[in-house]
Structures are given as structure tokens and as C-alpha cells.
Amino acid sequence: MALFTRKRATATAADTGRTTARRPAAVLDADPALAALTGDYTIDPAHSRIGFTVRHAMVTNVRGAFGTHEGTLHLDGADPARSTAAVDVTIASVDTGIADRDAHLRGADFFDADTFPLMTFRSTAAERVGGDTYRITGDLTIKDVTRPLTIDLEFQGTATDVYGAERVGFEGSAEILRSDWGLTWNAALETGGVMVSDKVKLTFDISAVKAAA
């Protein structure tokens, strides 16, 4: 992903597509001062969160997250268009804080986790929107349905933690219609409307660690 603008920082606490001959103007140009970011990174699940928010019964929001996930980034400081991201999410790790609801989500009405255990994302392009805001596009697969997903990101910078590991961080969000991926279960309310909204907001809070040279 094209995440190359901020200066480096040093932590003080224990936890702290293809190129073409003519690149579109929206694609981020490399910052030579941050060329050292180039390399492979592993998402740190202990300091990352992949969450969601969905409207429930037309009056409130249900928030949850997937507790088990893994992913990799490749950042290319010389040519950010070559940067990539890949994330695998374990569906059975869904957690909304209510066991019965989580079991329903894992079941056949929703994700059918026994048959389709993973949700995956594979990037296909990245661009700079402005300032520290970026946009990554890729393929999101749920229940063997693959559709494009665009995620807006805010780059949080880089840091060297107290263990000497180099980290990059970013926050992102996207909105999808769950029905586009075959998640269509619902129930009508007596007062009108439905139990679960079709629109779902996805949120990403990611810390990734650079592989040793």
C-alpha cells in the first residue's frame, strides 16, 4: 500500500497493481526520504483490529470484530504502485459480545463458517487521495463470492518499538452491502423495517512489523 509520507518516530512505551509507463496522477509518488520503508511486513494481530458496525432493529448499532486474522504487506518506497496487501480473517472468531448472536453469525443463515472458514482480501491498486489519506482497492471474498472493495486509509506513521522492531500503522474504513456477498438473512419488524441493515461499516486499525533484513 502506498503509505509513504510521515516522519519516523521512536516509541518509548512497551506497547506502543502493476506499474505503467505513464502513471495516473492519483497514484502516490514515492518519497525518497522514506525509502527505508521498503520491505515486507507482517500484521501484528495483538495490536490490530478488524471490526464492523451494523444497524440493529432500525434503532441501534451492533459492533463486533474478528479476533483471529493474519496478513502481510509489501511496501515499495521506490514505486508505491507495486505495494500490496493480503489479509485472511477467520470467520469463526467473530465476536459481538453475545454468544448466541455470534453462533447465529457463524451459522448457515449468515457466514456458514464450517463451509467457508475464511474471509480474504487481496489488494489490486493503491492511490493517494490527499494529505495522509489513501485509498486501497482489492478483492474481498466471503462465502466464495468475490467482489471489489475500496478502503479509505489514514496513515499513522512509523515507529521503532522498544524491542527494535520497525512498525507502520494505519486506520481505515469502508462500507459494503452484505447482500452483495450473499449475506441476505433478515427478519421483518412488526413496526416496519427489518432486524438487520444491509449496510455494514468495516473498520481497520492495523499495526504491521517489518521483516528482518
pLDDT digits (tens, 9 = 90+) for 91-128: 999 999 999 999 999 999 999 999 999 999 999 998 87
pLDDT in the model for residue 57: 73
Looking at the DSSP bridge assignments, the partners of residue 9 are 159
pLDDT in the model for residue 123: 97
The C-alpha angle with vertex 149 and arms to 107 and 34, in degrees rounded to 5, equals 125
> Percentage of residues in the chain with pLDDT exceeding 70?
82
| CB 2, CB 28: distance < 8 Å | yes
**Has residue 30 got a pLDDT over 90?**
no
Q: Which helix (H) or strand (E) holds 171?
A: strand 166-177
pLDDT in the model for residue 195: 84
| CB 69, CB 45: distance < 8 Å | yes
Kindly tell me the burial class for residue 36, based on how many C-beta atoms sit within 10 Å of its own C-beta (0-12, 13-18, 19 or more). exposed
The mean pLDDT of 161-168, rounded to a whole number, is: 90
**Has residue 161 got a pLDDT over 80?**
yes
Q: What is the pTM of this model?
A: 0.83
| CB 85, CB 1: distance < 8 Å | yes
CA distances from 62 to 2, 39, 189 (A): 32, 37, 17
